[in-house]
Structure 1
Amino acid sequence: METIIFDGEDGSQIELGVVAQTRVNGSVYLLTVDPEESGEEGSAAYILKDTSEDGDKDGCYVFVEDDTEFDAVYKVFEVMLDEIDFEYE
């Protein structure tokens, strides 16, 4: 599984595993998991939005915090994952 390093606001770094990527309304979103927060019910999942400009060498991602945006993108990922056999270990 591909991973990305996300810099937290407090200067810490979090390594997240990328489960899926999609484009909604012209924006790129990543569905990620934090394997260190996994438990009996699975891993903690996050949706990140790419806010980088065209031509930027690296992506710039932020956590999706708007409930309406999160719900809309979550539904897209839900359909995507229903269509594939996904298993994370």
Structure 2
Amino acid sequence: MEKIIFQSDDGTTAEFYVEEQTNIAGVTYLLVSDSQDEEADAYILKDISAPGSTEACYEMVEDEDELQAVYAVFQQMLDDVNFEWRSDF
């Protein structure tokens, strides 16, 4: 499983494991987890990189409608994974 490191605007870093990737209407989304444990927390990140940029720029999806729509796609892609929906991030 690919492990990626994200750096926030304030310089802090966080490590995530890429569980899956999808493209919806030309927008790339990543399903990432904070560990490889069964009880890991998962997040959906949206690629907001500028066209032609050499570095990827992602942000957490916060819009509830967008989050639920992308969540449904990932749930179908990973039908053998048990997801528990929480919106208290």
**Structure 1 segments of 4+ aligned residues over 4 angstroms from their partners:** none
**Displacement of 1:9:** 4.3
Amino acid at match of 2:57: C
1 or 2, which has the higher strand percentage?
1
Q: Distance in 2 between matches of 1:4 and 1:21?
A: 13
Two-structure CA RMSD over aligned residues (Å): 1.8
Q: 1:56 to 1:2 in 2, by over 3 A?
A: same
Indicate which of 59, 63, 68 corresponds to 1:62. Answer: 59
Gaps of at least 5 residues in structure 1 are none
Note the residue ranges of structure 2 that are not aligned, 5 or more in a row. 82-89
Paired residues, number = 81
Out of 42, 45, 69, the residue aligned to residue 42 of structure 2 is 45
Supply the distance in 1 between the matched residues of 2:18 and 2:45 (Cα, whole angstroms): 10
TM-score by length of 1: 0.81
Q: Once the two structures are superposed, what CA deviation does each residue of 1:4-62 show, in whole Å capped at 9, x if it has no partner? A: 111234431000000000011210000000018x5xx6100000000012211111000
Cα distance in structure 2, aligned partners of 1:79 and 1:49: 18
Identity %: 49
Match of 2:85?
Answer: none
* Alignment-mate amino acid for residue 4 of structure 1: I
Farther-moved stretch of structure 1 (12-21 vs 51-60): 51-60
